[in-house]
Amino acid sequence: MTSLLNAANSFISGNILIYVLIGAGILFTLRSGFIQFRLFGYAAKSLVKSRQVDRDHISSFQAFCTSLAARVGTGNLAGVAAALSVGGPGAIFWMWLIALLGMATSCIENTLAQIYKTNDHDGTYRGGPAYYIEKGLGQRWLSIIFSICLVITFGFAFNAIQSKSIAEAVETAFNIDQKYMGLVIAVVASMIIFGGIRSIARFAEVVVPFMALAYIVVALGVVAFNAAELPKVFSLIISHAFGLESAIGGGMGYAVKSAIQQGVQRGLFSNEAGLGSSPNAAATATPYPHHPATQGLISMVGVFVDTIIICSATAFIILLSGQLDPSSQMEGITLTQSALHTHVGDFGPIFVAIAILLFAFTSIITNYYYGETNLMLMKQNKLLLMFYRLLVLAILIVGPVAELPVLFSFADVSMSAMALVNLVTLLLLSGIVLKVVKDFREQVKMGVEPVFDRKKFPFLDKTMDKDVWDDTSK
């Protein structure tokens, strides 16, 4: 089963997804006028100001934290370790590149999610790729395919991985049997997911900033203590990224391909730019300033924080520890724990266990919501929703006793399929969404607070829901 999944994944991600992902990132970077660099400062300021929204609506900051809750998880600790183990230090360079290009892609997909969101008439909105596929392209069959892929990927596969990583980390740090942790995770998760998106957003708003800051502080301490070794680490990453080390002994092509593939896959798994997941959270917000591109810009900050800051922190912790050994049996979260143990002693594994507990648990909650949003597009049925909730909780219980390589292989295949559907859609709708982004940029350049006027875009005015982006939706 694993070999079949790996073959399918190698074909999709190695021969198709990598080129589409990089190509889309370059295209959106060029056509948006390098927006991820030119308006990054404005995006960061907007994020800080975005809490200026009444309590009846979900703020851009809450939506940002919700999407970051899904992004910051196993991929940042176990995923980076896996990328280093399989692809070598060079994989980190390709993770960085994918993140920088992906920031532009993230801006486009999250702006689209805001444009085509649906009003739930209770102060909240709902949306994502499945919604803009159906409304913007007029292809409901394709939106259903995407929704099915997302439910499988996030509701089931990714949540099994998150549950497994929590259980492994806790067992390593506290010697608690993995099979018991699955039940604990499911019970605690059920208390939040039954509360709906408001409960999830409030939870993410409190936990995500705290956990991210704590992990970054520890990582910065490790880096500062080993500052003299940093030039060697950067040299190691760059040389392996382009096969310079392998060129001496042969096998350069394979080493580079492995580094690129691992960097792209684990980078996509971590920051999710172009994957089509974060738009499900972005669509829930009432942005400030009141323009769809506001949320698109804010989403770029999430990609940057996830990969350039948090994933890099994990990579430096591992590479500075000297624990990366191809002959070692350590992989995933165990490698990260062992690396931090080298730096700070017994505190290391315990800290990583607590970090992954918070990181992965918030991911579980948000992953569940992504699945719910897409399930509701396919069919609004309370019994179906209850069945989905119970199935997700069952997956959380089973996850810790599953094999990690099988889970990652299954997740990679389903993730690649939904990413391809989303990326093709973004390319088809790029003309109109880039006009919306340009409208935002022009207003910023004029020194005025951007406001969206749907009447300026006849195609959007015709295909958007009538009760969003009008005078009553502010």
Distance CA 469, CA 474 (A): 7
pLDDT of 197:
67
In a domain, residue 35? The reply is no
Looking at residue 198, its amino acid is R
- Write the pLDDT tens digit of every residue in 17-47: 778 888 899 999 999 999 999 999 999 988 8
In a domain, residue 428? The reply is yes
Report the pLDDT averaged over residues 151-162: 86
pTM: 0.84
pLDDT over threshold 60, residue 421: yes
pLDDT of 249:
43
pLDDT of 296:
94
Confirm if 271 and 109 have CB atoms less than 8 A apart. no
Among residues of the chain, what percentage have pLDDT more than 90?
28
Q: Which residue has the higher pLDDT, 248 or 397?
A: 397
Average pLDDT, the chain: 83
Number of residues assigned to the chain: 474
Question: Smallest Cα–Cα separation from 14: which of 293, 280, 231, 264?
Answer: 264
Distance CA 265, CA 409 (A): 11
Distance CA 62, CA 93 (A): 30
Distance CA 137, CA 118 (A): 16
Distance CA 292, CA 456 (A): 14
SS3 118: strand
Q: Which residue has the higher pLDDT, 386 or 266?
A: 386
Confirm if 312 and 75 have CB atoms less than 8 A apart. no
Residues 6+ apart with CB under 8 A from 471: none
Confirm if 293 and 442 have CB atoms less than 8 A apart. no
Distance CA 368, CA 395 (A): 11
Least confident among 4-18, 68-82, 311-325, 356-370: 4-18
pLDDT of 260:
73
Among residues of the chain, what percentage have pLDDT more than 70?
86
Provide the domain limits for residue 81. 49-473
pLDDT of 251:
45
pLDDT of 253:
52
CA angle 331, 69, 89 (to 5 degrees): 35
In a domain, residue 222? The reply is yes
In a domain, residue 255? The reply is yes
- Write the pLDDT tens digit of every residue in 455-470: 999 999 999 999 998 7
pLDDT over threshold 70, residue 8: no
CA angle 45, 67, 219 (to 5 degrees): 75
Torsion angle of alpha carbons 287, 288, 293, 299, nearest 10°? -70
DSSP string, 128-169: -HHHHIIIII--HHHHHHHHHHHIIIIIIIIHHHHHHHHHHH
- Write the pLDDT tens digit of every residue in 434-449: 999 999 999 999 989 9
Reading the block at residue 268, the tokens are: 């996509």
Torsion angles phi and psi, residue 286, rounded to 5: -105, 95
For residue 358, the tally of other CB atoms under 10 A from its CB is 20
Torsion angles phi and psi, residue 125, rounded to 5: -125, 165
In a domain, residue 23? The reply is no
- Write the pLDDT tens digit of every residue in 339-370: 888 888 888 888 877 877 787 788 888 889 88
pLDDT over threshold 90, residue 55: no
Which secondary structure element, helix H or strand E, spans residue 125, and what is its range?
strand 125-126
Question: How many domains in the chain?
Answer: 1
For residue 8, the tally of other CB atoms under 10 A from its CB is 16
pLDDT over threshold 80, residue 246: no
Residues 6+ apart with CB under 8 A from 449: 289, 443
Answer positive or negative: Cα dihedral of 267, 268, 272, 274: positive
Report the pLDDT averaged over residues 194-216: 76
Report the pLDDT averaged over residues 203-220: 79
The CATH number for 248's domain is 1.20.1740.10
Report the pLDDT averaged over residues 231-241: 86
Torsion angles phi and psi, residue 126, rounded to 5: -145, 145
Residues 6+ apart with CB under 8 A from 76: 270, 306, 310, 311, 314, 359
Position of tokens 């003309």?
A: 431
SS3 285: strand
In a domain, residue 285? The reply is yes
pLDDT of 132:
95
Report the pLDDT averaged over residues 162-183: 82
Residues 6+ apart with CB under 8 A from 376: 126, 385
pLDDT of 247:
45
Position of tokens 């803009």?
A: 132
Question: Smallest Cα–Cα separation from 151: which of 372, 360, 364, 362?
Answer: 372
pLDDT of 90:
84
- Write the pLDDT tens digit of every residue in 84-101: 877 888 888 888 888 899
Position of tokens 């609506």?
A: 57
In a domain, residue 32? The reply is no
Report the pLDDT averaged over residues 154-167: 85
End-to-end, the C-alpha distance of the chain in Å comes to 50
66 confidence band (pLDDT: 50, 70, 90): confident
pLDDT of 34:
92
In a domain, residue 290? The reply is yes
Distance CA 201, CA 65 (A): 7
Report the pLDDT averaged over residues 123-148: 92
